[in-house]
Amino acid sequence: MGKQGRKRLVSYALFLAALFQCRFLAFAILDPLDFLALQLIRKSMNDLPGSSFFASWDFTSDPCNFTGVYCESDKVIALNLGDPRAGFPGLTGRLDTAIGKLSALTEFSLVPGRVFGSLPMSISQLQNLRVLAITRNFISGNIPASVGRLRRLKTLDLSYNRLTGKIPRSVGTLPELTNVLLCHNNLSGSVPPFLSQALTRLDLKRNALTGSLPNSFSPSLQFLSLSWNQLTGPVDSVLSRLDQLSFLDLSFNRFTGPIPDRVFSFPLTNLHLQRNSFYGPVQPGDQVKISTVDLSHNMLSGRISPMFSTVQNLYLNHNRFTGQVPDSLVDRLLSASLQTLYLQHNFLTGIGINPTAEIPQSTSLCIQYNCMVPPVQTPCPLKFETQKTRPTSLCNEWKG
């Protein structure tokens, strides 16, 4: 080899050494505690068949280049475990307590999979955490009360797991919460007061919660779902303050008392109050602009307000409404502006619709089992009463 060739070889060797040294230094700057925590987390979890999330987790290279790991300086600041694309199998195993050693972590998420076991108490050590999202897995046990130490937490999403016990009151004291999703678990006890003035989304549906609602929800709430629980008591004083709501679902509970008329003026797209024990008249002060209103299966009474004619899907069935169906509802139905009108199982005495009128195929009308003979034959929900008209004796007992 000539002199020039040897020089080129030496230069190339020096280049490789410098490159290796840079890679080594980049690898070495990660905080040792963070490095160890990532190793323990990896050992406690695996890819489900069909998943390759952990393929890049080779600890002979820089962990800050691992899929789902995000670093700043020498610390891990975000950890997103599992492939977030819909339909991917996710991960299995347990969540190691080492998660609490990632002291700079601001975001931790775990995509749907088959991770089981309890929520590590050590999560409460993550004082910088803003997002905690572990959803659609098999996490069981209680929500640790120590989660209330995460004073910077903005999003708490533990939905679709197997959590039991009460929602700790300490969680409700977190001052910066904007999103709380604890739906589809087995949580019991009462709904704690949520004191955050920034809270916009609260979803507690499909649990076993009991008791009445706290009168401390922030007016900033835009989404409130408490359906499929065992909640009781009146809601008028609670709802009257929540005039920013765009979605409200209190269905399948045991709420009582009147429905505040003011709720119909909120900027709602969906209002679901069905399957409760609400009673009294319902008289909105202005035209209702809510797309879907479901007040079915309650004990509401009085006459049906013509203000509901601007609703697209209206469910007033299985109540105690009386009198004539407003002509404005019939007109909107025949023009297909009102798509669903369920009035069955009330005490209505008339509806101004011509027996020869053609009901648009895109609409659905059901008026069976009232104190009148239906002037038109319309399809009703399956498994409905075979009787088209309520017995006269029952109609005479109930006159509004």
Domains of the chain: 26-111+125-130 (3.80.10.10), 139-253 (3.80.10.10), 256-399 (3.80.10.10)
Q: What is the average pLDDT across 125-147?
A: 97
For residues 191-216, give the mean pLDDT: 96
**pLDDT at residue 91 greater than cutoff 50:** yes
pLDDT at 376: 81
* Average confidence (pLDDT) over 333-340: 95
Structure tokens at 252: 């399948």
pLDDT of residue 388: 82
| Residue 364, pLDDT above cutoff 80 | yes
User: Which among 160, 168, 179 has a CA at the least distance from the CA of 144?
Assistant: 168
The whole-number pLDDT of residue 14 equals: 39
SS3 letters for the chain?
Answer: CCHHHHHHHHHHHHHHHHHHHHHHHHHHCCCHHHHHHHHHHHHHEEECCCCCHHHHCCCCCCHHHCCCEEEECCEEEEEEECCCCCCCCCEEEECCHHHHHCCCCCEEEECCCEEEEECCHHHHHCCCCCEEEECCCEEEECCCHHHHHCCCCCEEECCCCEEEEECCHHHHCCCCCCEEECCCCEEEECCCCCCCCCCCEEECCCCEEEECCCCCCCCCCCEEECCCCEEEECCHHHHCCCCCCCEEECCCCEEEECCCHHHHHCCCCEEECCCCEEEECCCCCCCCCCCEEECCCCEEEEECCHHHHHCCEEECCCCEEEEEECHHHHHHHHCCCCCEEECCCCEEEEECCCCCCCCCCCCEEECCCECECCCCCCCCCCCCCCCCECCHHHHHHCCC
Residue 2's pLDDT is 55
Residue-averaged pLDDT of the chain: 91
pLDDT of residue 302: 97
- Residue 396, beta-bridge partner list: none
State the pLDDT confidence band at 275, using cuts at 50, 70 and 90.
Answer: very high
Token look-up 């949520």 returns 194
Judge whether residue 138 has pLDDT over 80. yes
What predicted TM-score, i.e. pTM, was given to this entire model? Answer: 0.90
Q: Kindly state the average pLDDT of the residues 2-27.
A: 42
Kindly report, residue by residue over 37-54, the tens digit of the pLDDT: 999 999 999 999 999 999
Q: What pLDDT is recorded for position 375?
A: 85
Percent of the chain at pLDDT exceeding 70: 91
pLDDT, greater one: 341 or 3: 341
Question: What is the reported pLDDT for 109?
Answer: 97
Say yes or no to pLDDT of 272 above 70.
yes
Task: Output the pLDDT for position 399.
Answer: 61
How does residue 386 score in pLDDT terms, banded at 50, 70 and 90? low
Tell me the β-bridge partners of 157. 133, 181
Least confident of 23-37, 214-228, 321-335: 23-37
Is 11 a residue whose pLDDT tops 90? no
Give 55's pLDDT tier (boundaries 50, 70, 90).
very high
